[in-house]
Structure 1
Amino acid sequence: MLAISVTGMAANFKMFRKKKKDDNTSVTKPAPTVGTPNPASAYCQKQGGKSIIVKGSKGEYGVCQLKDGTTVEEWEYYRQNNTPQSLEAEMIGTPNPAAKFCVDKGGKSITVKDRKGNEKGVCKFKNGTQIDEWDYYRQNN
């Protein structure tokens, strides 16, 4: 099992090596970044701070060094400045991603009511076909 893991690691490492066309030397490319950034680190940097990883007795954690030189634990800083109310305020006026996707793909976003009076978004196309906006969005994203 160990031999398979080592072989797999070697194969993965080879993916990040690229041969130059003019000679036999190789250049190592950095591995691509995966996923989204840590929101607390991103917030720190957006505010002009510097995100620093600190090694403590219980592992590593992020610290935000602010412009004035003071430091604060990143998640504490993020939570102090991003209350549920402030995050909700940022979302007000933001378009529904499913409705936007529908319009971007040539459809028309309409609101329909079911028998119980519940509203839902439907994407209607010029040829007359209709699909639930969120179903359409999820199928294509």
Structure 2
Amino acid sequence: MNSRWTALAVGLGAAAFILGGCAGAQAAPAPAPTSDSGGASIPNPAAAYCQEQGYRYEIRTAADGGQQGFCIFPDGRECDEWAFYRGECKPASAEPTAAPEAAPEGQAVEGWAGTVLKQEPGDQIGPYFQREDGQRFSIGSSDPALREQIAGLRGSGTKIKVWGKLFTGVPADQARHIEVERLEAAQ
């Protein structure tokens, strides 16, 4: 029985020691803020953005001592620095807006043979068509029935022939996309 009391006393003593050590520790007081500009400072992201865009940045002090930053555009207009940073205001465009370009015509795809590959996990482009020579193209169709056929062929290994239009310079695998107008099983 005596050994139980000894073990309990030792355990309580250790707990008191640990808790006493924690209670005695005090955080060092935080240094008082200074207005010393000799140290490193973090730039104001809104001010930096204004200047990076090539505009003039200006800080104005109000009668009450409060300060506000403005981004000043070449046309004389100005915008609150944070509103400009969030895209809520923009400079007047000095250049006329370009007319939209005509949609590309696309090159004819005539009976290209290959297979529809399965999408890789996380891929956001869509299904791929791999031609027999190994070249890959994204593939799709505006026709719902053809889209369904293409989806069914993904990863099946079935050789097909496709007809349609090839568009380049588009957001697709290797910037090449086949818009299928017809497909059939290859012999």
**Would you call these one fold, judging by a TM-score over 0.5?**
no
TM-score of the superposed pair, with normalisation by structure 1: 0.32
TM-score of the superposed pair, with normalisation by structure 2: 0.25
Structure holding more helix per residue: 1
Looking at CA atoms only, which structure, 1 or 2, has the larger radius of gyration?
2
